[in-house]
């Protein structure tokens, strides 16, 4: 209750600002802004990754473009850690790969043996604009964020694509020294990563191979809940009645794609609570209208802006798992919706490289009894 009251106090001061912004925006202006954003999302990317990884899944085969600072199919005996960094809604994997390189430089010796990989989840306008091979995987603009099937060349879920990418690193002929993989994402990429942390099937195989898997979820617009409770709604019954989508996939588990619906929801939650997840939240990510934020009723049921949604979700998870939640929140002071600012901050570097979190980075621990470095 103390955490929830703290969240409510912090949210309350921001709600006044949000209300003033809302008053100043006419319905026509908001509609025009939404149309402009949609058009931008459908524009082809400016760059396509220069490497290809052939994925072989039960649903078929396809090529996933990736940036990487090692040849993806070559032996890399020096690699001990892999950072898989997932781009945002603009599919700009080049920018996220550059952020990955920047954080390695800032981390210095801590980053020795670290490989950065930035997969790119394209859509058909990207494939057409660059005349890419028919074997190149492409999804719909929203489909890749929620594990839906690719539209070409085979109906491969973006979750299955991540499974296959992780499976690639199990090959000890290529990565004999690999010990850790961090799957990380910001904004829309964090939406994919958070849901993959819930439903992904490959982590246990890596653990069996002696490779630890961790997840870093930074400033997503929404989270997947495990029941119909939405702590941000003052009136649960009325709120959910007016917005049935609040409990549908990607906000809840109902109506999820086959990759998800084929699994036991109780097992999903139990497994997720035990997985090592850090929610990296920008303390200044409080603008309710910025950076393609999801303002559907399903997302708004989780809170008015990204910071509030993240804190509320973690409080929800702690209540559901009073003794076994192996996760934590780390807040980044002074940073808003900025992947570079988040990942290259002292807070982000500490989380990524298993160092003590600086006192300047507020931490909310999970409920599992753990010791040592950040999970």
What band does 41 get if pLDDT is binned at 50, 70 and 90?
Answer: confident
How many C-alpha atoms does 91 have within 13 Å on its Cβ side? 29
pLDDT tens per residue, range 217-245: 999 999 999 999 999 998 999 999 999 99
Model pLDDT for residues 310-352, shown as the tens digit of each residue: 999 999 999 999 999 999 999 999 999 999 999 999 999 999 9
pLDDT digits (tens, 9 = 90+) for 73-82: 999 999 999 9
Strand ranges inside the chain, DSSP E: 51-57, 60-68, 81-86, 114-119, 122-123, 138-139, 180-186, 212-218, 276-282, 327-332, 363-365
pLDDT score of 35:
57
Across 161-166, average pLDDT:
98
Assess whether pLDDT exceeds 50 at residue 18: no
Is the pLDDT confidence value at 17 over 70? no
Q: List, for residues 47-64, the tens digit of each pLDDT value.
A: 999 999 999 999 999 999
Band of pLDDT at residue 40, cut at 50, 70 and 90: confident
Residue by residue, DSSP assigns 166-182 as: HHHTT-TTT-TT--EEE
Confidence of residue 36 (pLDDT cuts 50, 70, 90): low
Residue 371 has a pLDDT of 46
Give tens-digit pLDDT for 95-114. 999 999 999 999 999 999 99
Judged against a pLDDT cut of 50, whether residue 375 lies above it is answered with no
Phi, psi of 41 (to 5 degrees): -65, -30
**Per-residue pLDDT tens digits for 247-267:** 999 999 999 999 999 999 999
Specify whether the CB–CB gap between 367 and 360 falls below 8 A. no
Indicate whether 169 pLDDT > 70. Answer: yes
Higher-pLDDT residue of 40 and 44 is 44
Taking the C-alpha atoms of residue 78 and residue 73, their distance in angstroms, rounded to an integer, is 14
Average pLDDT, the chain: 91
Tell me the chain's radius of gyration from C-alpha atoms.
Answer: 20
Residue 38 pLDDT class (50, 70, 90 cuts): low
pLDDT the model gives residue 42 = 85
Cα–Cα distance list, 1 to 10, 57, 218, 265 (Å): 14, 45, 24, 27
pLDDT of residue 15: 38
| pLDDT at 14 exceeding the cut of 50 | no
Q: What domains can be seen in the chain, in order of their start residue?
A: 2-365 (3.40.50.1820)
- Nearest Cα to Cα of residue 143 among 168, 165, 124: 124
pLDDT tens per residue across span 275-291:
999 999 999 999 999 88
173 pLDDT above the threshold of 70:
yes
């Amino acid at each position: 209750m103390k955490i929830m009251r703290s969240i409510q106090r912090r949210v309350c001061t921001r709600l006044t600002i949000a209300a003033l912004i809302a008053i100043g925006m006419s319905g026509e202006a908001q509609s025009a802004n939404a149309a402009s954003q949609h058009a931008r999302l459908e524009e082809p990317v400016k760059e396509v990754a220069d490497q290809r990884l052939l994925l072989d899944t039960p649903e078929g085969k396809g090529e996933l473009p990736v940036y990487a600072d090692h040849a993806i199919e070559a032996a890399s005996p020096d690699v001990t850690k892999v950072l898989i960094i997932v781009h945002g809604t603009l599919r700009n994997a080049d920018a996220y790969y550059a952020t990955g390189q920047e954080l390695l430089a800032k981390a210095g010796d801590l980053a020795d043996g670290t490989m950065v990989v930035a997969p790119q989840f394209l859509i058909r306008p990207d494939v057409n604009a660059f005349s890419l091979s028919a074997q190149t995987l492409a999804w719909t603009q929203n489909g890749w964020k929620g594990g839906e099937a690719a539209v070409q060349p085979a109906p491969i879920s973006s979750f299955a694509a991540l499974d296959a990418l992780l499976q690639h690193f199990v090959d000890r002929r290529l990565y004999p020294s690999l010990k850790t993989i961090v799957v990380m994402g910001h904004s829309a990429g964090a939406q994919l990563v958070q849901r993959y942390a819930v439903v992904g099937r490959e982590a246990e195989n890596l653990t069996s191979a002696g490779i630890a898997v961790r997840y870093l979820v930074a400033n997503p617009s929404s989270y997947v809940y495990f029941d119909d409770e939405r702590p941000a709604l003052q009136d649960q019954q009325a709120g959910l009645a007016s917005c049935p989508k609040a409990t549908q996939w990607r906000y809840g588990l109902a109506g999820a794609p086959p990759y998800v619906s084929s699994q036991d929801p109780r097992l999903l939650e139990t497994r997720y609570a035990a997985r090592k997840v850090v929610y990296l939240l920008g303390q200044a990510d409080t603008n309710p209208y910025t950076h393609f934020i999801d303002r559907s009723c399903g997302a708004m049921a989780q809170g008015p802006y990204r910071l509030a949604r993240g804190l509320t979700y973690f409080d929800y998870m702690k209540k559901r798992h009073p003794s076994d939640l192996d996760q934590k929140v780390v807040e980044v002071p002074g940073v808003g919706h900025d992947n570079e600012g988040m990942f290259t901050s002292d807070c982000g570097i500490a989380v990524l490289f298993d160092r003590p979190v600086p006192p300047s980075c507020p931490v909310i621990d999970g409920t599992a009894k753990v010791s040592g470095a950040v999970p």
